[in-house]
Amino acid sequence: MDTSKWGKNIILGNNIEIGENVYIGHNCIIEDNVVIGDNTFIDSGTTVRSFTKIGADSNIGSNCIIGEYWMDFYKDHEKHRHDLTIGEHGLIRSGSIIYAGSTIGDNFQTGHQVTIREKAQIGNNVSIGTLSDIQGNCKIGNYVRLHSNVHIGQLSVIDDFVWIFPYVVLTNDPTPPSENFVGVHVHSFAIVATGSIIMPGLDLGQDCLIGAGAIVTKSVEAYAVAVGNPAKAISDVRKVKNKITGEPVYPWREHFGNYMPWDGIGFDAWYASLNVAEKSKYTLDNIVE
């Protein structure tokens, strides 16, 4: 552990495992029982709390809090153990707050001032935009991309390859106020456009497209386009054409590969390369026609 290039005024706790070639910036606080993988860079002013494990090759921006306290801390000021695991190659931008007690996969990326509360299960290759607020106790699959300022209520389930745009809310309380939460389930490849609000317990079907500003009060079928307040299904995504080129746009996986595992080879070739178990994991059997 070569600390000669580290910042000044760093506070290090006990029982810390720090890998090779790690950098820690000025004024950082690394509490007890933290594991930091090789080549990870932690910028100035960031606090990493106890029982946090950060994978190799990660970047943590300035002024983050990684492993934030649960309510139990405030009751007795004891550091109760709630493990936080963040995979390799993460990039968590400055000002973000991630609670203890979540599991986050590899290649995770956030914008700024993101909040992720406890008991979130987040897959690989997930991106969560600036100011998004993940309320915890929820499940987010792989290759999910949340843009800025998305609000994910507790008990939400988001499958793989879902896109959610700014100011979308997945709600969870059918009779507010209550604590009888039921989460929204967003199925693979769905697109939820800016400012739409999804009522509790609904299913947004595979490959559906929720239009901007939709207030969704009933579940939406696979491939449906739903818009308005209350939202109504008005079309099938496979009929949507690019206004300039006249070409079909959806299913988007056939036309867009950025950030996706099929980038450069196309979705069909990628899908064909999967084994049976992987194909069934992505529940794509009913997609490719």
Instruction: Give the nearer residue to its own copies in terms of CB position, either 14 or 275.
Output: 14
Instruction: Give the nearer residue to its own copies in terms of CB position, either 41 or 271.
Output: 41
Backbone Cα Rg of the chain: 21
Q: Encode the chain in three state secondary structure.
A: CCCCCCCCCCEECCCCEECCCCEECCCCEECCCCEECCCCEECCCCEECCCEEECCCCEECCCCEEEECCHHHHHHCCCCCCCEEECCCCEECCCCEEECCCEECCCCEECCCCEECCCEEECCCCEECCCCEECCCEEECCCCEECCCCEECCCCEECCCCEECCCCEECCCCCCCCCCCCCCEECCCCEECCCCEECCCCEECCCCEECCCCEECCCECCCEEEECCCCEEEEEHHHCECCCCCCECCCHHHCCCCCCCCCCCCHHHHHHCCCHHHHHHCCCCCCCC
Instruction: Give the nearer residue to its own copies in terms of CB position, either 176 or 276.
Output: 176
Q: Find the part of the chain contacting its own copies (CB under 8 A) among 25-33, 100-108, 269-277, 279-287.
A: 25-33
Instruction: Give the nearer residue to its own copies in terms of CB position, either 12 or 35.
Output: 12
Q: Does 111 bind its own copies (CB under 8 A)?
A: yes
Q: Find the part of the chain contacting its own copies (CB under 8 A) among 80-88, 109-117, 263-271, 272-280.
A: 109-117
Of 4, 14, 74, 78, which one interacts with its own copies (CB under 8 A)? 74
Q: Does 151 bind its own copies (CB under 8 A)?
A: yes
Q: Does 35 bind its own copies (CB under 8 A)?
A: no
Q: Does 79 bind its own copies (CB under 8 A)?
A: no
Both tokens of 270, joined, read 């990628």
Q: Does 178 bind its own copies (CB under 8 A)?
A: yes
Considering only residues 259 to 278 of the shown chain, the ones binding its own copies according to CB under 8 A are none
Instruction: Give the nearer residue to its own copies in terms of CB position, either 28 or 276.
Output: 28
Of 50, 52, 107, 115, which one interacts with its own copies (CB under 8 A)? 115
Cβ atoms of 191 and 208 within 8 Å: the answer is: yes
Amino acid at 1: M
Q: Give first-to-last CA distance, the chain, whole Å.
A: 54
Q: Does 177 bind its own copies (CB under 8 A)?
A: yes
Q: Which long-range contacts (CB under 8 A, 24 or more apart) does 127-131 make?
A: 127/259, 129/166, 130/93
Q: Find the part of the chain contacting its own copies (CB under 8 A) among 7-15, 80-88, 119-127, 278-286.
A: 7-15
Q: Find the part of the chain contacting its own copies (CB under 8 A) among 120-128, 192-200, 261-269, 275-283.
A: 192-200
Q: Does 30 bind its own copies (CB under 8 A)?
A: no
Q: Which residues of the shown chain bind its own copies in the complex (CB under 8 A)?
A: 7-9, 11, 23, 26-27, 29, 41, 44-45, 47, 59, 61-63, 65, 68-69, 74, 77, 91, 94-95, 97, 111-113, 115, 130-131, 133, 135, 145, 148-149, 151, 163, 165-167, 169, 171, 173-179, 191, 193-195, 197, 199, 212-213, 215, 228-229, 240, 242-243, 249, 252, 255-256, 258
